[in-house]
Amino acid sequence: MNDQVWPVRLSPQAAKTFAALPAHAQQLVRDVLDIASRTPWGWPQWDATDPEGESVRCASVGQVSLVYLVNSVAGRLYVIDVVWLG
């Protein structure tokens, strides 16, 4: 089993959205990022019809969705957007 945990970076827009979330939603985002950082390709592809976009993923749990890019060269995840339906 691979024990690598990928570091996570937030885009400026994702960081702004995260900061505006209520505390319980921020915790949910942290939990989703924890799961995604352990299994980056475990979430579905954002656009399954785009063969070149296989590293862009969407992680959703409850009212939170995160769109992130798996940067395998740098060994990190880059969160493009945070969506909170609350």
Question: SS in 3 state form for 18-45?
Answer: HHHCCHHHHHHHHHHHHHHHHCHHHCCE
CB count within 10 Å of CB 22 equals 10
Per residue in 11-56, pLDDT (tens digit) is: 999 999 999 999 999 999 999 999 999 999 989 888 889 888 889 9
pTM: 0.87
Over the stretch 60-81, which tens digit does the pLDDT of each residue have? 999 999 999 999 888 899 999 9
The CATH code belonging to domain 8-84 is 3.30.2310.20
Containing H/E element for 16? helix 12-20
DSSP 17: H
